[in-house]
């Protein structure tokens, strides 16, 4: 009777064969670029969605310093001067009420460049690191081949973005955000999101597993590595990614 491990290895081997064969298509490079574009757009939209979640779930008015009013020392010196450019602005109230959800949305949108640029940066770093690993294992593919493999593996990052946005939406939709200051609201948001760390870690593990399959198949196809060597390289990167995912899901909140 076959062992459970042998029974499990058969479907995994079949999937790896399909992925390896898919890399042999002449369109593999174009597919990698298409995935890069899709993941970049998806990550950027994820940041926009996160800001929208803050706006929709945080309905608090918070009193803050008026950004349109100059500092008090400036107003004491120039506020009564009719020729001063600060005169009218010093008539503004020193403190104003703002919508905390809108402010958090604007803050999130300030990170859009991370979605637009960060995905490409990650792709480049991962590609070079993976190429070094492949060469160390005896691979014969080019740097361009490795960039194609890493480009396909970006699919896993899109899965993480989708899972993260969905988990935060559920957490904040069911949380009571009642703080009267941004510090208090931030603590309540952190407390609510902390409850999503388990599901997010599972989502990260699934994404890493998808990337592992893609990397193994890609290294077999483009670097002429046997399955054991390809799996060894992919496992090292998967282990590092999983170790990084643990503090990202449990420590950063």
Report domain extents, the chain.
Answer: 4-61+98-250
Ordered DSSP codes for 193-243: HHTTHHHHHHHHHHHHHHHHHHHHHHHHHHH---HHHHHHHHHHHHHHHHH
Residues 117, 118, 121, 122, CA torsion sign: negative
Q: What is the pTM of this model?
A: 0.84
pLDDT along the chain (253 residues), means of 10: 47 86 93 97 96 92 82 70 64 83 92 92 96 95 96 94 92 88 89 86 92 96 95 95 71 40
- Any idea what the Cα angle at residue 72 is, between residues 68 and 74, rounded to 5°? 85
Half-sphere exposure of 104 (CA within 13 A, CB side): 23
State residue 8's pLDDT score: 46
Residues 120, 126, 129, 134, CA torsion sign: negative
State residue 253's pLDDT score: 37
pLDDT in tens, 125-165: 999 999 999 999 999 999 999 999 999 999 999 999 999 99
Structural contact between residues 31 and 38, judged by C-beta atoms closer than 8 angstroms: no
237 to each of 132, 140, 143, 240, 251, how far by Cα in Å?
A: 12, 19, 17, 5, 21
Q: What number of other Cβ atoms are within 10 A of residue 27's Cβ?
A: 9
Closest Cα partner for 35 from 109, 111, 127, 112? Answer: 127
User: How far is the C-alpha of 223 from the C-alpha of 134, rounded, in Å?
Assistant: 7
- Any idea what the Cα angle at residue 243 is, between residues 14 and 118, rounded to 5°? 85
Token pair for 4: 């459970």
User: How far is the C-alpha of 214 from the C-alpha of 211, rounded, in Å?
Assistant: 5
Structural contact between residues 54 and 105, judged by C-beta atoms closer than 8 angstroms: yes
Fill in the DSSP letter of residue 160: H
Q: What is the mean pLDDT of the chain?
A: 87
């Amino acid at each position: 009777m076959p062992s459970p491990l042998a029974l499990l290895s058969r479907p995994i081997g079949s999937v790896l064969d399909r992925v390896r064969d898919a890399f042999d298509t002449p369109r593999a490079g174009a597919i990698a670029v298409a995935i890069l574009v899709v993941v970049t757009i998806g990550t950027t939209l994820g940041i926009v969605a996160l800001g929208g979640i803050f706006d929709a779930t945080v309905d608090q008015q918070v009193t803050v310093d008026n950004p349109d009013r100059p500092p008090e020392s400036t107003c004491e010196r120039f506020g009564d001067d009719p020729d001063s450019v600060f005169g009218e602005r010093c008539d503004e109230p020193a403190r104003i009420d703002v919508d905390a959800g809108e402010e958090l949305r604007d803050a999130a949108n300030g990170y859009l460049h991370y979605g637009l640029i960060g995905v490409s940066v990650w792709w480049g770093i991962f590609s070079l690191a993976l190429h070094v690993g492949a060469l160390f294992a005896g691979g014969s593919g080019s740097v361009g081949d490795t960039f194609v493999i890493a480009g396909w593996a970006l699919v896993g990052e899109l899965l993480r973005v989708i899972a993260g946005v969905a988990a935060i939406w559920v957490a904040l939709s069911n949380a009571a955000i009642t703080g009267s200051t941004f510090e208090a609201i931030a603590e309540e948001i952190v407390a609510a999101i902390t409850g999503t760390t388990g599901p997010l870690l599972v989502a990260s593990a699934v994404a890493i597993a998808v990337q592992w399959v893609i990397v193994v198949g890609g290294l077999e196809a483009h670097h002429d590595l046997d399955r054991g060597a390809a799996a060894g390289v992919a496992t090292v990167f998967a282990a590092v990614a999983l170790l990084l995912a643990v503090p990202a899901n449990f420590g950063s909140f």
